[in-house]
Amino acid sequence: MLNFVIHKRSIGQIIIVILIAISLILTTYTIIKASSSFEATSEKQNMRLFLQRIDERLQKEKGFIVAIDFINPLFASEKSWSIGDPGDKFNRSISEIGDDYLCFKERSEQGPDFIRCTPFSNIVSVDYMGG
Tens digits of per-residue pLDDT, 20-47?
Answer: 878 777 777 766 766 555 555 688 889 9
pLDDT digits (tens, 9 = 90+) for 42-88: 888 899 999 999 999 999 988 899 999 999 998 888 898 999 888 88
| pTM, full prediction | 0.65
The CATH number given to whatever domain includes residue 23 is 2.30.30
CA-nearest of 58, 78, 56, 60 to 69 is 78
Q: Count how many domains the chain has.
A: 1
Domain with 95 in it: 2-129
Q: What is the pLDDT of residues 95-105, one digit of tens each?
A: 999 999 999 99
Burial label for 109, CB within 10 Å (0-12, 13-18, 19+), is exposed
